[in-house]
Amino acid sequence: MLEPKVWQLTAGSVAVGLVLAAGAVTLAGPWDSGQRKAERRWAAAQDRTGGADHGPPAAHGPARRPAPAPAPSAPAVLAALGGAAPAAARLPAGLAERLGKKLGPLLDDPALGKVRTAEVIDVATGRRLYGKGPDTPMVPASTVKIATMAAALSALGPEHRIPTTVVAGRDARKLTLVGGGDATLDTRRLGALADDTARALGDRGIAAVEIGYDVSLYSGPREHPIGPNDNIAPVVALMADEGRLDDSTSGPAPRSGDPAGDAADVFAGLLRDLGVRITATTGPHRAPKDAKPLARTYSAPLSALVERTLTESDNDIAESLARQTALAEDEPASFAGAGRAVAEEIEELELPLGHARFTDGSGLSREDRVGASLLTALLARAADPDHPELRPVLTGLPVAGFSGTLRGRYGDDVPARGLVRAKTGTLTGVNTLAGTVVDAGGRLLAFAFLAGATPAPDPAQTALDRLSAALGHR
């Protein structure tokens, strides 16, 4: 058992850490949609300079991409804690040199394999504080979700909702369940959709129907290039409970080989339970052009989907949002079309792609390539007051030691619980981490560490955790 003074110090450190982590994104965007609306109204009322030409980089700093405008950073955090906040645009002399001395040895850890790249920037100024091959394209694993989510928010806006619709032919006796690409559709919402459908049929005096389903919104291969895998279901425009064959809601699980057909079967069964007689099931087909909507259900707002995707590293939602982006960009809703659309949206955010390549939205593909500098640029852009629509990229990042894929990391030997928010990435031989941390001087830093050819996942993850933890220490 901890001694009382030790316990108090530990609890106090965790509490301060959580305040810092929460405060760093307080202005970056709250969690509920009502507050987001208030934030956007506030942002629209301000005099803005972000997104314009910020001038050449400082003569003593390395060449940089165009920097985002000042962001929600530690001044707000320190003010909340009663401290004195430094001017956001002024960086202490020698900060980059001191940071390099701390990070260099940690980045040389053999646990990080043969190839490792890194970048750390000050979010408020866009200044690079540390870099090691930051523009080198690397396999990003799930940190690519930062790019996917930023592109989706940019293309569609945080209030966008994805529909699943029941349409009916002229006599309303032939129904089609039309998938809109909502990977968060579950049995509960299918039940509500069945209730609305049965009520609409009853209002028309119809007791028996044929039913089929339409998944034509998507094109190209259904299977992810990695093939059947517990980490992702076939990518189709209609599914329920992510095609999971158990009671799990996140992480790996056995998946259905036909999630669309299974969802349609569940829906038909729910209608039967409500007294609707199903005379035939017609399987997959395109809904008739003259079909009229009978009932509809919507996903949560895109902002919430983004947060869920990043916190839990949800591959199914990531792929669905990549395809939503493709549709918004008039690209085919396929792996290839989604990859082009994500790249197009990043360019529209005025961020340099370099040699980035997006072959999926989830990061399960080893063909993806992203530089550390692009990840930090995306994080900084998400904090830009000119882009409040991107805030969920920050608010969705897991909190070290407390939530999502970081819940079990940052133990007693890596004292940064509650201080670091970051997206993880893990494939065999690939370990990555990208996110934000408030440093001891009160600055919000964005970082990206990417390692390839790592010998084992656990030591590599610990090495990455130590790197990010070092950013918050004096």
Q: What is the pLDDT of residues 294-352, one digit of tens each?
A: 999 999 999 999 999 999 999 999 999 999 999 999 999 999 999 999 999 999 999 99
Distances (CA, A) of 473 to 153, 394, 420, 439: 33, 21, 11, 6
Q: Domains plus CATH for the chain?
A: 4-159+304-470 (3.40.710.10), 163-299 (3.50.80.20)
Catalytic residue among 73, 142, 320, 468: 142
- Is 313 tagged catalytic? yes
Q: What are phi and psi of 442, to 5 degrees?
A: 90, 15
Write out the chain's pLDDT in tens, 474 residues. 333 333 333 334 444 444 444 444 444 333 333 333 333 333 333 333 222 222 233 333 333 333 333 333 333 333 333 333 344 456 787 889 999 999 999 999 999 999 999 999 999 999 999 999 999 999 999 999 999 999 999 999 999 999 999 999 988 999 999 999 999 999 999 999 999 999 999 999 999 999 999 999 999 999 999 999 999 999 999 999 999 999 999 999 999 999 999 999 999 999 999 999 999 999 999 999 999 999 999 999 999 999 999 999 999 999 999 999 999 999 999 999 999 999 999 999 999 999 999 999 999 999 999 999 999 999 999 999 999 999 999 999 999 999 999 999 998 889 899 999 999 999 999 999 999 999 988 899 999 999 999 999 999 999 999 999 999 875
Q: How far is CA 31 from the centre of its chain?
A: 14
Sign of CA dihedral 347, 351, 355, 359: negative
> Could you say which of 313, 362, 373, 468 is catalytic?
313
The H or E element spanning position 469 is helix 457-470
The number of residues making up the chain comes to 474
* C-alpha 37: how far from chain center: 20
Catalytic residue among 145, 154, 334, 365: 145
Give me the pLDDT at residue 468, please.
Answer: 97
The token pair at 116 is 């490792």
The CB-side HSE value for 305 (13 A sphere, CA atoms) comes to: 31
Provide the pLDDT for residue 474. Answer: 53
Q: Could you tell me if 310 and 215 are in contact, meaning their C-beta atoms sit under 8 angstroms apart?
A: no
Q: What angle do CA 425, 17, 83 make, to 5 degrees?
A: 130
pLDDT tens column, 277-297: 999 999 999 999 999 999 999
Q: Which residues contact 208 (CB under 8 A, 6 or more apart)?
A: 173, 276, 277, 278, 279
For position 456, what pLDDT does the model report?
Answer: 97
Identify whether 216 is a catalytic site residue.
Answer: no
CA neighbor of 324 nearest in space, from 287, 350, 298, 292: 298
Strands 163-168 and 292-298: antiparallel
pLDDT for residue 33: 34
Q: Alpha-carbon distance 412 to 397, whole Å?
A: 21
Report CA-CA distances (Å) from 324 to 26, 105, 178: 28, 42, 15
The verdict on whether 468 is a catalytic residue reads no
174-178/163-168 β-pairing:
antiparallel
**C-beta separation of 467 from 95 below 8 A:** no
Pairing outcome for strands 277-284 and 208-214: parallel
Q: How open is the CA angle 455-458-462, to the nearest 5 degrees?
A: 110
Q: Rounded distance, CA 237 to CA 423, Å?
A: 26
| Residue ranges in 204-314 assigned as alpha helix (H) | 259-273, 302-312
pLDDT at residue 13 in the model: 40
Q: What's the CA gap between 135 and 425, in Å, rounded? A: 18
